[in-house]
Structure 1
Amino acid sequence: MGMSEGYGPTSWDDAVATVHRALDLGVTLIDTADAYAFGHNEVLVGRAIAGRRDEVQLATKTGIDRVTGDSWALRGTAGYIKRACDASLMRLGVDHIDLFYLHRAAQDAEIEESVGAMAELVKEGKIRHIGLSEVDGALLRRAYAVHPITAVQSEYSIWSRDLEATVGDALRELGVALVAYSPLGRGFLTGTVDVSALPTGDARRRLPRFQTSENDVIADRVRELAELRGVTPAQLALAWVHGRGAALGVPVIPIPGTKRVKWLEQNVAAASIELTEEDTATLDGLAARVVGGRY
């Protein structure tokens, strides 16, 4: 998303170079959505993976209809889902999508209708697997009764662990993987975000957790521990998410977003970091100190 909007100035050339470098480093999961910059991000991703499609597990999402820049409708009727899939295939320039998510539970349809339409897309060969985003356990179970769900994508990081209580049991029960977005707390856990210096268009200026200095203690603790380990705060935060599979009882796949090759390379290197039990215990306790909601 950040390659197209949300986190300050963007560069098409830098973004494409970053995707190419990711593929060179062995990154195989690329995640986008039709809502990101009104489809711009899907076009960008499609161009970036052109000629290398077989190296990529391609995920995209639908269901957030951006009527205007500030007005969203959560849509999920069968007709909408199918038209959105065709539009995504066109923007991405591919003949199938590996993992197709319902971005949010719809306001105009029950989850059974939305997933039923997605199941038909599987039969047609347009998508391979079905995912949901930001659902609770009850919705996941209802969806799974219609068609197996491969993954749930939710915000998950050292300072955002709500899903453990809302959908964790259902993930384990059904064997559904967790795809963790914003595993770096939208950059906060890197210790490099100065809210006062963020550009006007940066969405973080409006988020409650970024409006108080009380959360600085969390970033400071991550930084201190990272220094002791000889890694960056971002790598430590990612290593924590990488290691959560055993505790949650399901595969956990973090999808850190970045616009630049430098940060991409640091993120990829985090996959080889193993935390001690003491490190994990320290980081586990930080979520309880968070002040402010996610939105």
Structure 2
Amino acid sequence: MTSLSGKVVLITGGARGVGAEVARRLHRRGARLVLVDLDREPLAALADELGPHALPVVADVRDLSAMEAAVAQGIERFGGIDIVMANAGIASYGSVLAVDPAAFRRVIEVNVLGVFHTVRAALPSIVERRGYVLVVSSAAAYAAAPGLTAYCTAKAGVEHFANSLRLEVAHLGVDVGSAHMAWIDTPMVQDAKADLPAFRKMLAALPGPLGKTTTVEACGRRFERGVERRAKRINVPGWVGAARWLKPLMQTPLAERDVRRNARRLLPEMDAEVAGLGRSVSARVQALGEAASTD
């Protein structure tokens, strides 16, 4: 188990949701924080709350040079990077036939290339300090969801990225983990619920715990423990770990029967709602993307 006191942790997507919650928890444990996000106002507010041991950096994970500059700022301020949490992620709305192709591409760029850029930029310091890399994937890496194809594709991809990276750097004393969460009450999930009544119906149609939403605080507790233990996998809630082993069974026609039935009923509703919105991402994500393109 690793002491977090004095460790330098770089977190992307650090302004809100799980990133901000983990930042607060690690800060209480004595960590130094490099918080990276595009959302300037909540990022600045969180840095003010945490004080001099938190360095806010406005950067786009899609830009490798921006991430290299963020890492350089963290090293200059705190001396190095011990832990990197590649957490930044977005989702798009709508089926493959309905989603805006630009939104689909942006999800892949943020959720896949953003992870690569984050890890690539931080890795030399992580190797030097024999540190820890946490790639934030999702339960979506194990179980597909209609209407979230870009997100599921990206999260499956970064899980395997973490698996491959683990093999590359184990002999260098670096540990690599991946995090897999079901529905967490983050701004991303809140936005989808607000924008799309069909999304709420899809969640309600899932059996048992599959449609339940976990609090950000509960998720943060598991992440804190996982980072401390340099965990290979962090599952939130705990039952998500079983989904990894059951993945082949979940892809059988019998297991997919109810999902297909609900998709046939609800996906046309979702696509109509997306068309009515005139956008395939949340208003917040769209505004951040427009702001980034003008910087």
Under a length normalisation based on structure 2, what TM-score does the superposition of the two structures give?
A: 0.41
Q: Which has the higher helix share?
A: 2
Under a length normalisation based on structure 1, what TM-score does the superposition of the two structures give?
A: 0.41
* Greater RCO (Cα-Cα under 8 Å, separation 6 or more): 2
